[in-house]
Amino acid sequence: MTSLKVILIILGVTILYLALLRIIRKLYHFPAPAFIGRFLDSNVRRWLQPPDKIIERSGIKPGMTVLDLGCGSGMLAVTEFPPDPDYPLRSTTIRLCQREDFILDDNSGNLWNYTVRFKKPSSG
């Protein structure tokens, strides 16, 4: 078996697992598994999502007030990526924030790791 076939099999199993997990999460509500917490605050996550790059991409500057949407270990929760069992699609995140009158400022990343940035509407 070639290495390409092995990679494709692993990718296919991963996508199938994530899809199945999403379907189950829609049908049954249960808390995130405990092992996810260890992953979210691990060197693997810091390698996948370097905190300095996330902050740079988010446009966060000293003195700004940041609203952290989502739960987590507190490391950094301004982005989303699929190992999170409650991973929302980018369009869902945008829709929920716009429903609360936040204005979309920037949108970057891809399906696997995205950051959306919003501005608070100015009170006129």
Asked if the structure places residue 20 within a domain, the reply is no
Whether 103 is covered by a domain: the verdict is: yes
23 burial level (CB within 10 Å; 0-12, 13-18, 19+): exposed
Each residue's pLDDT expressed in tens, for the chain with a length of 124 residues: 799 999 999 999 999 988 887 788 778 766 666 666 677 677 887 888 787 887 787 777 888 777 766 554 433 334 566 666 667 788 888 888 888 777 787 777 777 777 777 777 766 5
For residue 85, give its domain range.
31-119
Q: Are strands 103-109 and 79-80 parallel, antiparallel or unpaired?
A: unpaired
Asked, for residue 19, whether it belongs to a domain, the answer is no
Give 70-118 as a 3 state SS string: CCCCCCCCCEECCCCCCCCCHHHHHHHHHHCCCEEEEEEECCCCEEEEE
Contacts for 29-33: CB closer than 8 Å, 24+ residues apart: 32/71, 32/84, 32/85, 32/86, 33/85
Number of domains in the chain: 1
Residue 10 has a pLDDT of 93
Residue 75 lies in a domain: yes
